[in-house]
Structure 1
Amino acid sequence: MALQPIDITTPQPNGKLGDPARVMSQKINANDQYLEQLAQGADTKATAAKATADAALPKSGGTTTGPIFRAGVQNQEMFRIQNTGTQVGIGGSFGSWSSNRTPGLQVDCQSRADAYMVARATNWGVAHLFALDVYQGTTSDVITANFHFPGKENAMRFFANGNVTFAGTLTQNSDYRIKDEVQTIDPVAAASALRMVRPVEYTDIQGGSSGPRRAGVIAHELQEHLPLLVDGEKDATETIDVAEGDLTPYAPGTEPEGYVPPVMKLRQVPKLQAVNYAGSTVYVIAGWQEHDGRIERLEAALALALEKIAALEAAA
C-alpha cells in the first residue's frame, strides 16, 4: 500500500474540481492508517536498534554480561594494541610494571586462596591443551605462575623469589652445527680448578630478609678458576627505574583519600652475577677423567709392587 494522492484539479460532472468530499475523506482515512502503520513499524525498529545499541560496548569502558566470540582469520589479529611511529603506548621501564604502566590484559585476582587462570588453549571435544594460572597464596612469598598440561598440573612453576620447578628434564641445544672453535678441556687443568672451588652453604637474603638455607658457590670466587661458568662482574651496579611510594594497585576511582601514586626514580642497584651450575658438569667430567686415569696408573703401580713383593717372599 502507498499513500493515495488527493485530487484537487480534475473537473467533475457537477462542475467542481477534484475529488468529491466523500472520496477525499476515504483517502485521508486510508492515508492516516498507512502512516500510523509506518510509524508503528519505525518505532519497533527504533526500539530494536536501541536495544542493540544499548547492548553494544561503547568506545570507552563498558561491561559485557557474557562471552565475546570472534571467528579466527589467518594473518589477522584477534586483538591488537596499536602504536604508531614512536608512540610508547603501553611500553615503559621494567620497574614501572607495578605502578603506572598499562597492561595489554588485566586479570583481577581478589582471593588469595584461589588460582586465577590467565589463559587456556583447548581442542574442544578432545582435551584442554595448556593453561596458565597465577596464585598468590596466604603469604606474599608463595606467589607463583603455574603451567598446566594434559595429565600434569603444575608441570612448571615460577616462584616470586626467582625459583623454578618443573616436572621433567631440562635440556639445551648442543649440536655440533652450532659450535665453532671447539677445544677439549684439559682434564689436569679441570681437576686443578675444581680443587680450588669453595662449596658453601648460605642463607638466601634476596628478599631483603633472612630466607632459606641453600648450597652453592660464591660467583666471583668461582670466576677466578672457571670463568666461563659465571656471568657479570664482582660488585657491578646498574641504574634502573624504580617505583617508589604506595605500590598498592587501586582500581581507577577507588583510590583512598589523599592517595599519592608512586613515582619512578632512577636508582643505582647491584647488578648480580649469575652462575651456570649445569655447565659445571663438563668440568666435573673432565676432572673425573683425570682422577680416573690417575687411579688406573696407581692401581697398575700397586699391582706391579705386589708382584715384586710376592716374588721376593717366594725367593726368601
Structure 2
Amino acid sequence: MRRINTPDGLYHNADVLAGVQGTVVDADALNAIQEEIIAVITDAGMELDPSSKTQLRDAIAAITGAGVEWGAIKHKPEEFPSTIPLVDGLSDALGLLAPKSSPVLTGTPKAPTAQPGTSTDQIASTAFVSAGLANKADEDHHHEIGDVDGLQDALDAKASTLDLNGKVSKAGDTMTGKLTVKSGRPAVELNKLASGGEAYIAGFTNGAARWSAIFGDSGAESGADAGSDFQLQSYNDAGALKGAVLKFSRKTGDAIFSASILCNGFIGSNQAATVVYANAGTVYLRPSGGNSTAGQWTADAGGLLSGGSPGTAVRGFQKYGISTFSATSNSNTDPGIGGSYSAWAGDRTPALQVDAQNTSSAYMVWRVTKWGERHLAAMDVYYNGGNMRVDLHCGVQQTHWWESNGNFTATGKVIAIGGFDTSDIHEKRDVRAAQVTRGLSLRCAKAFKQWFWKANGESDRGLIAQWLRRHAPHLVVEYVKAGTGKRGDRKVKRLAINKSALALECSMDNALAIEELINSNRALQRRIDRLEQKTK
C-alpha cells in the first residue's frame, strides 16, 4: 500500500486565512485504500456487498478466528511451539498444581469455612462439618446400616476394593485355615432368602465335590410343613452328583435310604426295645432291649432265620429243618414285587420266598397256632421228585391238596355257598354259542353260551338256565323277581342255576367219567333187555 504523495506522507486540511493549501487526493491514493480493503474481504472468501458496511470487520473476524470454528481460519500455522520452556521455572511450578478434574491433593489442603447452613457445591472444611454435627442429636442416637438406603451396598462395594489384611470378606472369600466359633451356644446359621433355593455345606477333595449336606432342599414350601427337606448327597470321583443317599422329610420325619443299612451296633425303638443287633456276621432280631440272646431271632450269613435254639418255639419268624428265607435276583427294571401275571416263574421279585433245597422234604410256608396249646392251620409245599403238591392242613389233619397235574383233592365235601346265579335268558341279549374245552359235563356244555347283559351292556359267558333245564333240570331253580319298569310292583318269574348242585359237575374229568358211566350203564341195560327177550 502506498502513502499519499505529500512531504510527510500525511493528509493535510486547507487553511485559507493562513494561506495553507490542503492535500490534493489523487486516484492512486484512493485506489490503494480501496484495493487493500477489498483484498482483505475477498481473501476471507467473501463476495463484495455494496449494501454492507461491516464486510471488512466480518472478513477480519473470519480470518482471525473470532467467533468462528478453528477450521475456518486460513493461513494459520500447523503447530504452535510451546513457550513454557522459554520461561525459567514455569514447568516445575505447573507440576506442583493439581488438575481441575478429579484432583488428588497431598499434605493438609485448606479451604474457607462456609457459614453454618450453607448448602451449595462449595467445599466443606472440617470446621464446617464439626459445627454441623454439634447441632445434631446426642451421641446415643444411631441407626442400623439397613435403615439407610443403599448404605450396605456402598460399604460392600468399598470393601471389595480394600486390603482386608487377612480378614474374610462378607461378600465371599476363601479361607486357608480352620473356622472356630467360640460361644456359650456356638452356631452356624444358613439363611436362604426364599423357598426353592438350597442351604447346604459341601466337602471337596482338591476342588472336586464329595459330599453335601443340604439343610433345606429346593422343594417348594407349599404349606403344611412341606418342602425344604434334609438331604445328604454324594458325588463321584469327577465331582459330579450321584444322588441323595439319605433324605429326611421335614413334614413327616420319615427317613429314606437309597441303599442298605449296615449296622455294627443297635437300632432301637423309643420303648427301649432293640429291633436289630449285629455281631460277628450274625444279625439278631428280638423284642427286648440289650444284647441278650434270650427270646431273639437269628439270621446268619447264609440267610437262615431261626429261634434262640433249634426247635425252640419263638413268637415271630421261625426256622425248622433247612427251610430258609433267601434273597432273589431281579433283572427287571422295576425293583418292586410287581410284574406281569404270567411272569411269576421268571425274574419277578417275591415278597417272601422259601428255598426248598431238599426235593424229598415238605416245606412249611406258614403255620397258625394258638400259642402254647395247639396248631390251627398250615400250608406245606412238597416237591416229590417232580409231582409237586401244595397241602393245606386244618386242625390235626391234611384236608386239601393241589397237584401239579391240576388235580384237586378234598377229604370232605366240596360245597358252593354262593347261592343261585341268575342265568335266565330274559336277562341277556345277543346270546350265541361258546366253545367249551373242559370243566363241564357234555350236557352242561350244551347250555354254555356267551352274551351281553341287558342291565349294563357288559359281555359275559356261562350257562343259560332255560337250556340247562332241558338236559339237567335238577340244576335249575325258579325264583320271583320284582319288576323294574313303570309298574315296579309287578313280579316276574325267572330261572337260576343252583351253584351247590352245579359244583358236583364242574370238574371236566369227573363229568366225562360220569357221562361215560351213564352211557355204559345204558348200553348194558339194553344188552340185558335183549338177553331177557331171547330167554323168553
TM over 0.5: same fold? no
TM-score of Structure 1 vs Structure 2, range by shorter chain:
0.3 to 0.5
Give 1 or 2: higher helix fraction: 1
Give the structure-2-normalised TM-score.
Answer: 0.22
Q: State the structure with more CA Rg.
A: 2
Give the structure-1-normalised TM-score.
Answer: 0.35
Which protein, 1 or 2, shows the higher relative CO under an 8 Å CA cutoff with sep ≥ 6?
1
